[in-house]
Amino acid sequence: MMSQTVPVVHGAARGGSAGRRAAGAVLAFAVIAVVFVELLPRIADYGDVWSVLTTLGPAEVAALAIATAINLATFAPPWMAAIPGLGYWNATVLTQVSTALSIAVPGGDAAGIAASYAMLRRWGIGRRAVAVAVVVTGVGNQLVNVLLPLLALALLVMTGGSSPVLLTAALIGIAAILAVSAAFALVLRGERQALAVGRRAEWLVNHLLALVHRPPREGWGEGLVRFRRETVDLVARRWPALAGSIILGHLTVFAVLLVALRVTGVGADEVGWVEALAAWGLIRLLSAVPVTPAGVGIVELGLSSALVGFGAHNAEAVAAVLLYRALTVLPTLALGAMLGLTWPSRSVRLEGGELP
């Protein structure tokens, strides 16, 4: 009986997973189509947007190119801090390839994380070292994503501005950061707590595996204790480099938007840098749920609307947003595709030995 039921369960799971992926792809395509065909033209006619873009001269193009290059250059440092000895070029290859996959492949961030794991393991880096690096950089990025709208809200209030939408997003962000921080702190608080969390997770997973007649897992509690030790050690030794590089990376992305605003004619008297940071931080927070790849459509519509709400002219706001999106997505897709051909031949020599 068991040999007959197991394939049925697995086949149903694969069918259900394929069905969910297909439904997700259809939903994403529908959202993108509605945004670019129906909603975004209501903010600004594409002809007017094109007129704004065609006014850009050599100086404006150069400013955009410099901002884009600086942004691309800041992808690598967080991973260099998380895996000492990885090296700048290896970290660049890693981040460009994994980010390109997270943009282009169904599954979004999960695909990028899987690619990062596979690449680092192929380079000979141990499982625990990879797991620690993935968690530390991932949690750090999410914390910054949440903290930026809070910072923007505080700056708006201090400068006499207000935004009910931003306030709502900030409250959501506070709840999210508290939940993430509580879970992370529970694991890092002590070995006893880490052991308990690992064993509870193992118990739950083994009950689920039993339903599909799969063998149980063992050693999760002890594994989480080791993971905690290594995470605490890494953060204690490298936190200035980790925090600084992650924050810098986010701010260079914002810099691309700010330059795009200025070269398309959205002056500081219309949308100041504080208001631009507020709009940008809000949309990054709200687009964290991967409805479409890289938030395509969601970001363009939301950010354009927010900038217009702060005082930008419609066509200039949409032109700036489309420029910003093109310059933060397309170069990474191109670099990721090219560098993806070279990563299997690369090697890494870690500082201070290797974690198994």
Q: Examine residue 144 and state whether it is found in any structural domain, yes or no.
A: yes
Q: Examine residue 284 and state whether it is found in any structural domain, yes or no.
A: yes
Q: Kindly report, residue by residue over 117-130, the tens digit of the pLDDT.
A: 888 888 888 888 88
Domain that holds residue 99: 46-161+240-345
3-state secondary structure 180-205: HHHHHHHHHHCHHHHHHHHHHHHHHH
- The alpha carbon torsion through 273, 278, 281, 283 (nearest 10 deg) reads -120
CA distance 151 to 157: 10
pLDDT greater at residue 232 or residue 328: 328
183, 193 in Cβ contact below 8 A?
Answer: no
Q: Examine residue 62 and state whether it is found in any structural domain, yes or no.
A: yes
Q: Examine residue 90 and state whether it is found in any structural domain, yes or no.
A: yes
Residues 6+ away with beta carbon under 8 Å from 80:
86, 87, 88, 91, 241, 245
Helices (H), the chain: 2-34, 40-43, 46-53, 58-73, 77-82, 88-104, 109-122, 127-158, 164-189, 191-211, 220-263, 273-286, 298-310, 314-339
Q: Which percentage of the chain shows pLDDT scores above 70?
A: 71
Q: Examine residue 36 and state whether it is found in any structural domain, yes or no.
A: no
Closest CA to 143 of 113, 108, 193, 179: 179
CA atoms lying within 13 Å on the CB side of residue 81: 23
Mean pLDDT of the chain: 80
Q: Kindly report, residue by residue over 75-134, the tens digit of the pLDDT.
A: 999 999 999 888 899 999 999 999 998 888 756 677 788 888 888 888 888 888 888 888
Residue 289 carries which DSSP code? S
pLDDT at residue 12 greater than cutoff 90 = no
Predicted confidence at residue 216, as pLDDT, reads 74
Handedness of CA 216, 219, 221, 224 (dihedral sign): negative
**Residue 45 pLDDT level (bands cut at 50, 70, 90):** very high
Q: Examine residue 10 and state whether it is found in any structural domain, yes or no.
A: no
CB atoms within 10 A of CB 273: 16
Predicted confidence at residue 6, as pLDDT, reads 42
Q: Does residue 98 sit in helix, strand or coil?
A: helix
CA distance 69 to 256: 10
Predicted confidence at residue 96, as pLDDT, reads 94
Q: Examine residue 169 and state whether it is found in any structural domain, yes or no.
A: no
pLDDT greater at residue 105 or residue 45: 45
259, 63 in Cβ contact below 8 A?
Answer: yes
Q: What total of structural domains would you count in the chain?
A: 1
- pTM of this structure: 0.80
Q: Kindly report, residue by residue over 140-168, the tens digit of the pLDDT.
A: 887 888 788 778 777 777 776 655 655 66
Q: Kindly report, residue by residue over 230-242, the tens digit of the pLDDT.
A: 677 777 788 899 9
